[in-house]
Amino acid sequence: MNLDGYYLDLHKLDQMKDVSFRDKIYEMYRDMVYSNEDGRTKISQSLFNTLLSNGYLKSVRDDKIESILDGDNSINS
């Protein structure tokens, strides 16, 4: 599984009021990365899907596309 194109949305986590839940999200992200490196792809895929579908992971590719399509950074500007 290739995790190179994704990162944890720290801004979203910083806005959380429940510190224990925020810590659990950090732990899930850490476990995802470690299990992927250890070759336990079923575990890392499950954690990845959970984090992504709940909005805790961001895509580098999507960020780049969004910045290109943004009015100030667009090709037409």
Cα four-point dihedral sign 53, 55, 56, 61: positive
Task: Render pLDDT for 19-70 as a digit per residue (tens, 0 to 9).
Answer: 999 999 999 999 999 999 999 999 999 999 999 999 999 999 888 888 788 7
Q: Is the pTM of this model over 0.85?
A: no
When pLDDT is cut at 50, 70 and 90, the band that residue 76 belongs to is low
* Burial (0-12, 13-18, 19+ Cβ within 10 Å), 40: middle
Single-letter amino acid, residue 39? G
